[in-house]
Amino acid sequence: MNWKNVLLLISVDIKAGRLIRGQRLRRYRESRVFQYLLYGGACLLGVLIGLAAGLFYSGVPDPNVKTLFYEGCRYLFLSFPTLILIFNLVFTMMSQIQRMGVKSSIQPPYWLPITWEEHTLASTLANLIGIPLAFLILSSSAIAIVSIYLEQVPLAALTVFALLASAFLASTTTEIFRVLQVRLVGAVYKSTGKAAVWVRFLGTMLFLVVFYVVWFAFTSGTGSIALIEAVAGAQQVVWFVPYVWLRMVLAAFVSGLPAQTVIFSLASLLFILILFYVAVRLNARFGLYELPAITVSRRVYAPKIGFLGRLGFSSLEAAVIRKDLKAFTRRRELMYVFVMPLVFILMPLMQYLGIYGRPVPLEDSRFLFALMLLIPGAMMAVMMGLMIIGEEGESVWHFFSSPVTARSLVKCKYALIIIFSCVATLICGVIGILIARPSLDIAVALFIESVLLIFALGAVSLGAGITGADFTEIPRPKMVRPLTAFVYMLLCLVLALAILSPLVPYAITMMNLSVLVSLPRIDLYVAVSISVVIALVITFVFYKIALKNAEEFLMKAEI
């Protein structure tokens, strides 16, 4: 193993971050201070947390509280390796999912004299650069400092070592998952033939939805506490699973069992080595695997005007809409827009069914219905609007070199946002009606409000998506500048509240909520009518802004 090669490969991966951060300087000078600020900050925060906890421990006069705190810390030390493992697994997998669309140009150059061991080790360690490493530093420094006050330095040292091993274990597992996923996908493409496009779409959606539902369930409020309790409680039971052996090392050490400590330490080390060996072998076998071609159609080519043409779209506009429809169902990085609405359907549905604990009472399900109807479509409109120009990436030259006018560009992109978002709202609405069984009045009013939000926020975000478009594709498509996205998301939130504001008095009356000021009683349809006027004004103004932005965008074309 040439360690210099490993370090060089990791540094290449770190430097890919320059592109993510949008650095476009010709003569690039990296600020080392800025580069290590995240880790320095994490270390400082960890030290402060450790100091605060330590000072609290030494300052507590009550011996019972002291003992409770002491035991609590030891309990947490024991759970930390598994928690770090889960955190890193989720984080590195998320990063891999984002990188699925990454161009091959940042892959290590296979033609250079680099061994698979070096490549795999570099890739595994590089996965941990950034937030996982910062979190690791934060936890380790906090543990180290607090252990001085608890007089548990040997346990803390062992815990920190276990944390590092856990992070590496998680990253190696992700590396194996990444290689297997590529090979598996290839096999699926081959076996499914023409249906491969849809298999890929549905497979990706299923994976992302399950992943996010689990993630949100665990990270939302009581979910995270439940996770810690589950981790701590279940580990003794599943001691035979190698992933909890690092925790078993600490448990044996705390219980004063030196033989078990050594056995589990050696077993953990062996498991990590085996896992790493598997990752190396898989990389060697499938690392250069090229996905087979997806044949979409073998039909005889017979162009026709089509549905969009009959709706009044010109051939140019219809062509762009059709192209984007295919983009959103064939490009993994764009499939994200479907995931959030789906999660918004599934989360309340699972709460309603009591999967996360106590089932939701019926009166609350009305509120869930309102959320299910209003949020997914609007959210989809905002997300699509922000990314729909930037998703063109470097292929944007097609718009600059072909006779596409600003009017056509805005019309077809806006139409696609409306179509997708309205379909999402319709699906959410139907599921919501089946769950909450709202009155006809409320269902109709909420459907209207949802469509109003889609039209208004779609126009707002499209205008922002044009001015804030970012066509960077390597190492991952950026689509929109983060600051633009953030500012316009806030604006969309404010405008959405403005559109929904006429319904607030009605909602308060209906849900028997007590408020400090007395609000006027308002008929539902009057409230909806006022809302329609507000939404139409917003839509009109921001559509005009989007048109102006598109004119400037096409005029200032520079590629």
Partner 1 sequence: MISSNGSALKLRGVSKRYEDIVAVDNIDLNVEHGEILGLLGPNGSGKTTTLKIVLGLVKPDSGSVNVLGIEATNDPIAVKKQVGYVPESPRLYEFLTGLEYLDFIGDIYGVALSEKQTRIKEYLEALELEGREGDMISSYSEGMKQKIALISAFLHKPKLLLLDEPLSGLDPRSARIVKDLLQKLTSQGVTTIMSTHILEIAQAMCDRIAIMYEGRLLALGNMEELRQKARLPGSDLEDIFLKLTGTDDIREVVEALLK
Positions that interact with partner 1 (CB under 8 A): 26, 291-299, 301-305, 314-316, 318-320, 322-323, 326-327, 330-331, 393-395, 397-398, 400-405, 554-559
Residue 200 or 481 with smaller CB distance to partner 1: 200
Is residue 396 within 8 A of residue 471, CB to CB? The reply is: yes
Which parts of 501-523 fold into alpha helices (H)?
504-510
Least spacing, CB of residue 317 vs partner 1, in Å: 9
Residue 451 or 550 with smaller CB distance to partner 1: 550
Give CA–CA dist 340/355, Å, rounded. 19
User: DSSP class of residue 290?
Assistant: P
Residue 309 or 505 with smaller CB distance to partner 1: 309
Is residue 468 within 8 A of residue 481, CB to CB? The reply is: yes
Sequential DSSP letters for 62-104: -HHHHHHHHHHHHHHHHHHHHHHHHHHHHHHHHHHHHGGG--G
Q: Which two tokens stand for residue 342?
A: 């789906």
Residue 325 or 498 with smaller CB distance to partner 1: 325
Residues near 455 by beta carbon (within 8 Å), at least 6 away in sequence: 418, 535, 539
Q: Which two tokens stand for residue 317?
A: 């506009």
Least spacing, CB of residue 551 vs partner 1, in Å: 11
Least spacing, CB of residue 463 vs partner 1, in Å: 21
Give CA–CA dist 559/550, Å, rounded. 16
Residue 196 or 464 with smaller CB distance to partner 1: 196
Least spacing, CB of residue 295 vs partner 1, in Å: 5
Residues near 121 by beta carbon (within 8 Å), at least 6 away in sequence: 1, 6, 276
Residues near 228 by beta carbon (within 8 Å), at least 6 away in sequence: 79, 83
Least spacing, CB of residue 366 vs partner 1, in Å: 41
Residue 11 or 402 with smaller CB distance to partner 1: 402
Residue 387 or 435 with smaller CB distance to partner 1: 387
Least spacing, CB of residue 556 vs partner 1, in Å: 7
Closest CA to 85 of 208, 235, 200, 251: 235
Least spacing, CB of residue 503 vs partner 1, in Å: 41
Least spacing, CB of residue 321 vs partner 1, in Å: 10
Residue 146 or 416 with smaller CB distance to partner 1: 416
Q: What are phi and psi of 469, to 5 degrees?
A: -60, 140
User: DSSP class of residue 360?
Assistant: P
